[in-house]
Amino acid sequence: MLLLVVAASTFVPAVRSTLLATVGRALVADDPLTSADVIAIAPDAQEAGVLEASDLVQRGISSRVVILSRPVTPIAGHFKERGVEYADEGERYLRLLHAMNIGQVEIVRMPDGGTEEVGEFLPEWSRQRQLSSVLVVTGTEHSRRVKRVLRRNSSGQQPRFTVRRSRYSAFTPERWWWRRSTVRTGVVELQKLALDVVLHPLS
């Protein structure tokens, strides 16, 4: 895929755009919407995931939202020692959802890490709570890899996972190469996806 990105840059604009859009769409997984026991916002989704989860609740997909958040860092304690109210990402997202009238929200602290750690943590957490279906909201550029990791860690068992890319993500598959920040994101994610395919070809 990376060779395709490099080769595409040498073609005429129309052909180049078509090839780069194809590459961008390779990063994306977006399952059909169905009702779920809970909507889980992956850490990489950030504020875009909060907005997407709010939309999904309004559409009746689920009334419950779980914010997958990294552990509280020692820095939070230092602020509280000084009498300063401190909110990390999980707490900020909680407040944003409450401000949008989403009442059933829970912060779930998971081990620090990335996509692999989410894929390992979420199936076990869901089974412990006897959930039958979980809709995972993630960043657009991460969604294909999130789906692959969840699929191999759930092994066809309950719960059923569906992956929803946030429509509010800065990464747009059809024009990701227009901005320097998303070019870097796209290239990095392509490398990670390619490595995942090599290491787990059957996912």
For the stretch 192-202, pLDDT in tens is: 999 999 999 98
Whether the predicted pLDDT of 10 surpasses 70: no
Q: What is the pLDDT of residues 35-86, one digit of tens each?
A: 999 999 999 999 999 999 999 999 999 999 999 998 888 888 899 899 998 8
The closest of 155, 152, 148, 157 to 195, measured between CA atoms, is: 148
Q: How confident is the model at residue 21 (pLDDT cuts 50, 70, 90)?
A: very high
| Cα distance between residue 138 and residue 140, in whole Å | 6
Q: Where are the domains of the chain?
A: 1-27+171-203, 30-170
Burial environment of residue 59 by CB neighbours within 10 A (0 to 12, 13 to 18, 19 or more): exposed
79-116 pLDDT tens trace:
989 999 888 999 999 999 999 999 999 999 998 778 89
pLDDT over 80 at 7, yes or no: no
Q: Residue 72's pLDDT is what?
A: 84
Asked if 171 and 75 touch (Cβ cutoff 8 Å), the reply is: no
Over the chain, what is the mean pLDDT? 91
CATH T-level fold of 30-170: Rossmann fold (3.40.50)
Q: What is the mean pLDDT of residues 168-192?
A: 93
pLDDT tens-digit readout, 110-144? 987 788 999 999 999 999 999 999 999 999 999 99
Q: At what angle do helices 115-128 and 143-154 cross, to 10 degrees?
A: 50
